[in-house]
Structure 1
Amino acid sequence: MSATTDSDSRRISIFDTTLRDGEQAPANALNPPQKLEMALRIEALGADWVEAGFPASSPSEFEATRLISRSLTTARFTTFCRAVRSDIETAVTAGGTDRHQVQILATGSDMHLRHKRGISRAQAVDEVAESVGHAHALGVESVSVGIEDASRGEDGLLRDIAHGAVEAGATCLVIADTSGCHLPQEYAALITKFRTWLPDSIRISTHCHNDFGLSLANAVAGLEAGADEVQATLGGIGERAGNTPLEELAALLSYKGVVLGLHTDIDVSRMYEAYTVLRGMIGLEEPRNKAIFGTYAFGTAAGIHQQGMLRNPATYEYVEPARFGRGRTLLVGRHSGRAVLRHVLDELRVVVSDEELAELYRTHITERAGGDCEDISVLKDRLARELLERPLPAAA
């Protein structure tokens, strides 16, 4: 199967927040040189925006922003700021104004206003508008406003923040399902509201968390409802259960872009390499069953599956591993059937009787495997050694 892009499909902007939302989650800390390396790798994938971090939060974040801002050549970079003048000034000092988007955090729900901020709705609206204006006064042309907890916000508050931000010069609104509480239809309805409140020239970005495992579904629902951009992370790393996984979004649009009328310019063949480097930096074990990036995302040990895949991989393999820098893995274990054993013997050009096949199956698979699996290449090497003295048939 090959991916196709319809000429009428809409290009989706990719905002990578691996180095900010992903990196701020427990155990994911990166030092400035590591952040720079990952920023360059993410840029090479084709991301439009690379979020460098929160420069006002620490000297390390400041230095990472400084390095990244001077090194990117195709992607633009973003800094994360509270609606505080000093945060914005620090971000500009670290990264300058060229190709720099300042993202200002807005408080989008009464729950957060009451229990976290202790301010009124009017104050929340005013601080955002004032901060956007201050960023422009410092020479920043691209200013986005990330509305935290928008998925639990009341329409009046959200609309006032949106209007105030745009009037002050914001060019993008980020609609955050911060707690990951929305269903796709709920998030789509929220994006639809913002699309009706905002001029078409204002970019709308999704920021979805994965607490219910719906971050990808919500992001896609948001795109279908009119969002222009997705904030995502490599491997879906991020707060709590994480963020929209970049690789899953890119893979989905690669295969289903025509159906959805959407596409990205992400180079899917290089994502796994970048993810592997990231895992090494943060000490993240590779999950066995994660889509696209899981150890066995393209592997099987079940005999029924193997029988079909040995004849035609497409029988069970809709997503092609080679397109994502991965390889197909056939594992041999107690769930494997005789088909995989026959396949190995055929490759070795060893002819056996049905009785011999049954005995080899018993000694090399059913009794040997137990509860573990081994790669088919290991079985092949072992059989080659054991059957080395057998006469081989003449070449055809």
Structure 2
Amino acid sequence: MTVTLRDVTIREGAQMPGREYDVEARVAAGRALDRLGLDAIQAGFPAVGETDRAAIRRLAGETDASVVGIARARTADVDAALDASADVIEVFVPTSDRHLEHVLGKSREEMVAMTGEALDRARDGSVAVHLTLVDGFRTDPAQLAAVFDAFPSVPTITVADTVGARTPDHVRELVADLRARGVDGDRLGVHFHDDLGVATANTLAAVDAGATTADVSVASLGERAGNAALERVVVANAVDGDGDGADFDLDRSALVPACRATLDALGESVDPRTPVLGEAVTTHEAGIHTAAMLHDPGTFEPYDPATFGGERRLVFGPGSGRGSARALLERAGIDPTDERVARLLDLLAERGPMDEATATTLVDDEF
């Protein structure tokens, strides 16, 4: 099953406290993301200001991905997105009882009417439209299905877990419920926040249950705890699916470089232990690990980093054990006697830590 990934890094990241991505930063990030072959890049909220509008205008003219501008279900917001020359206008509107009362201040019937007006305004501007249902995962499934029925010509309607309140079992249940009510999986998108730490798992669960579009963000950038991480969704699907997972139809070999380039463009960084993107994730020094990985890297890795444009690092130094020293000597064709192993361990402890190439050179020079 082919699943469309829509990146929300730029727009969601800009909503984090203290962030003010300028136009050049957004354009550079969008260019990096476009190298992945993503279907769409959500570049901003045009009604917010000229920075968002200018970034969308620039990117819409130079990316293969569709550039998305979001808009509340208000004609003024839609007009701002039209002025920004967005390829797609994604209208968003609350659907849960709580959000209808406390955020929108409208009845369900009024919400449907204003959504229809906003979508019509966008279509009048000859722009493709999508629709996102805010707090959708805390909305009664029957009411969600009614929105799908009310707007049959909208190709993608995204159900959002706006406050990150759901877990995979609930996600599967709701998606399955919508499918059972006649919602076409080809129209069903999902958007998850990571407040409970399960946005990636929720995305994979939704896809497994039949959703065919998913919003993702590099390194989970986004308000509060962020969103489902683009790189984690892609890698987890590839690894756990063992070839039978969803087809995300993007360039896997460009994943890590493109994500890191996006972070650089936005002035963001990640902890070294961050899954997939952190340097520590593919760095190994423990003696038992490096000894085995010199023979078979997959012994202590869930995937080959090179598959996704990353790089494995074996480190030798004070933490290396006899097994690692023995393996280094054997690879150089040197008999790993107890004396040589002990000497090499002393050298590694004295001169390390060092990478595999340097350790190999050390063996060649000293033995």
TM-score, normalised by the number of residues in structure 1: 0.83
What is the match of residue 79 of structure 1?
69
Do the aligned partners of residues 134 and 352 (structure 1) sit closer, same or farther apart at CA in structure 2, a change above 3 Å counting? Answer: closer
Q: How does 1:257-276 map to 2 (within 5 A)?
A: 257=241, 260-276=244-260
What is the match of residue 51 of structure 1?
42
What is the match of residue 20 of structure 1?
11
The answer to whether 1:148 aligns with 2:116 is: no
What is the deviation of 1:306? 1.6
| Whole-angstrom distance in 1 between the partners of 2:59 and 2:182 | 31
What is the deviation of 1:227? 0.7
Aligned-residue identity in percent: 28
Do the aligned partners of residues 374 and 55 (structure 1) sit closer, same or farther apart at CA in structure 2, a change above 3 Å counting? Answer: same
Q: Alpha carbon RMSD of aligned pairs, Å?
A: 2.6
Q: Amino acid of the residue matched to residue 176 of structure 1?
A: A
Q: How does 1:93-104 map to 2 (within 5 A)?
A: 93-95=83-85, 100-104=87-91
What is the deviation of 1:48? 0.9
Select which of 217, 221, 224 maps to 2:201.
217
Do the aligned partners of residues 334 and 211 (structure 1) sit closer, same or farther apart at CA in structure 2, a change above 3 Å counting? Answer: farther
- Please state whether the residue corresponding to 1:291 is helix, strand or coil: coil
Select which of 88, 103, 106 maps to 2:93.
106
Q: Which runs of 5+ in 2 are unaligned?
A: none
| Whole-angstrom distance in 2 between the partners of 1:26 and 1:380 | 47
Select which of 109, 133, 147 maps to 2:120.
133
What is the deviation of 1:205? 0.9
1:146-193: CA deviations, max 9, x gaps? 111111123454334333333xx4221101111111111101122223
1:43-89: CA deviations, max 9, x gaps? 221101111211111110010011111112x3222110011101101
Are the counterparts in 1 of residues 172 and 206 from structure 2 also a CA contact under 8 Å? yes
Q: Which moved more, 1:113-122 or 1:220-229?
A: 113-122
- Please state whether the residue corresponding to 1:104 is helix, strand or coil: strand
- Please state whether the residue corresponding to 1:50 is helix, strand or coil: strand
Do the aligned partners of residues 261 and 314 (structure 1) sit closer, same or farther apart at CA in structure 2, a change above 3 Å counting? Answer: closer
Q: Amino acid of the residue matched to residue 226 of structure 1?
A: G
| Whole-angstrom distance in 1 between the partners of 2:20 and 2:262 | 11
Do the aligned partners of residues 352 and 304 (structure 1) sit closer, same or farther apart at CA in structure 2, a change above 3 Å counting? Answer: closer
| Whole-angstrom distance in 2 between the partners of 1:202 and 1:283 | 36
What is the deviation of 1:300? 1.4
Are the counterparts in 2 of residues 174 and 207 from structure 1 also a CA contact under 8 Å? yes
| Whole-angstrom distance in 2 between the partners of 1:364 and 1:323 | 30
Q: Amino acid of the residue matched to residue 90 of structure 1?
A: A
What is the deviation of 1:288? 2.0
Do the aligned partners of residues 238 and 131 (structure 1) sit closer, same or farther apart at CA in structure 2, a change above 3 Å counting? Answer: same
Q: Which runs of 5+ in 1 are unaligned?
A: 1-9
Do the aligned partners of residues 283 and 196 (structure 1) sit closer, same or farther apart at CA in structure 2, a change above 3 Å counting? Answer: same
What is the match of residue 375 of structure 1?
355
Do the aligned partners of residues 282 and 27 (structure 1) sit closer, same or farther apart at CA in structure 2, a change above 3 Å counting? Answer: farther
Select which of 31, 36, 42 maps to 1:40.
31
What is the match of residue 192 of structure 2?
208
What is the match of residue 329 of structure 1?
313
TM-score, normalised by the number of residues in structure 2: 0.89
